[in-house]
Amino acid sequence: MAHRPDIVRSRSMRAAAAALDFYAVCLIGYEHAVPEGFHSNRARWPVRVAMTRDPTEITKKTDLEQPLHSVVVLAYVWTTSDAHAKRLKLKLDGYLLGWEDDAALRHGWRDLDDPINAWPVLLNLAVTDIRRREDIDVFDETERQNRINRHRRRQWQ
């Protein structure tokens, strides 16, 4: 269920993407629920919020550290700057970390029963809360590609 951003292939597209300096806020976690421990019937689904310029790279180190289960990007959105990504990540972490203590796992990971369905709800709460105080631009991969294309066209005119 991992999402993967479109690959920017041409040199002009890579230059436009670098100039726009977009940051992704990602929900990373295991591909599926995992047992709580050996001989346990209880399952957990560890997730964490991370930010990056390249969602394809964000899980590589964590995945290498985990020999039993694959760590993947479950969902992500783009923002226009590092500052917006930090604010959104902070707000999402607040919603995740504010849950019950039994959802707490180690090293900032949280147990989230259904991350694919919970992500849009958490994201909407976080964005709405941030927009009460300031403007924040949050968009999906398709809109990111459209903005890169528009920027590239303006550069070549």
Q: What does the pLDDT read at residue 74?
A: 94
Number of domains making up the chain:
1
pLDDT digits (tens, 9 = 90+) for 129-157: 999 999 999 999 999 989 988 888 887 76
Q: Is the pLDDT of residue 3 over 50?
A: no
pTM here? 0.82
DSSP 104: B
Cα 107 to Cα 36, 62, 137, 143, distances in angstroms: 16, 12, 29, 33
| Residue 4 pLDDT > 60 | no
The DSSP bridge partners found for residue 28 are 48, 73
Contact 59, 3 (CB under 8 A): no
Give tens-digit pLDDT for 9-33: 677 777 777 778 899 999 999 888 8
Residue 2 lies in a domain: no
Find the domain containing 82 and state its range.
11-156
pLDDT tens figures, 59-115? 887 766 676 778 899 999 999 999 999 999 999 988 887 654 555 555 678 888 889
Amino acid at 58: I
For 102, phi then psi, to 5°, come to: -75, -10
